[in-house]
Structure 1
């Protein structure tokens, strides 16, 4: 399994969207160099308020371009980086990956998938009605989160648009992704 990096984004300040960059550098155990969410412990404001000592399982946020294309077809113009992701991908079923899947991105970077992004009301502040597009209920009533996945950096390195992504699935029974 594999795909491609479409765009990379980062921001040193808290904001909903992140500007696209020519490249980013992933740092092992931290996240995206210079990004406000990089760190060993949680950096998202709501999580810091609860317990700032919790390990940061949300060092890197990835979204698939296929979602952005679907949203565009529903009347929501959402560009790469607009939902706060660091890496926009194409060709990888991010939401179908299990916990512990490993993404090799570009020549050196390695990210381990930790779970799903839990979309919040800020999405409706960005585009009214968008939250209902990225969070739905399945026929059985379970919540389906579609706003990308989160991961931790196992090995650092540069990541640029056009870089290849390869997926390595973990051994043993696979655990489906849940919010982190």
Structure 2
């Protein structure tokens, strides 16, 4: 399922991380996420939202202002039979956690380019595979996802097509 962001070979779990056949290794952070954003794929030193931006969004979302949208997103996802799903641009995990509750039998993945956001997201749904990665180079196998979610986040349509399994769906807000 996971692929190496450098050579695109399958990643295998080892010790406290993952490794590909070419021996590119990525360790799991203490918060539980994998950082699959190599330096050569970054456009800045610390891409994505910073700590202050992530905390402000978390406080706002936890205030319940977008709860009806999150609930509807989870309802729509629950109507499908899924094996695997991915939240692209998950931010601090507010919508992702709702999806995880609605899809307890499916393998869930979530990614964001912001390390600060993913660090906080891990706490919302630790059972998911949290990734720091670029949505322009999603480190997942072709046709591996039955459902993609992209909530208030940019979306690379070519990557979405590549990731979706036949008959897969896209939830976009």
Using structure 2 for the length normalisation, give the TM-score: 0.26
Q: Which has the higher strand share?
A: 1
Using structure 1 for the length normalisation, give the TM-score: 0.25
Q: Which has the higher helix share?
A: 2
Which structure is higher in RCO with an 8 Å CA cutoff and minimum separation 6?
Answer: 1
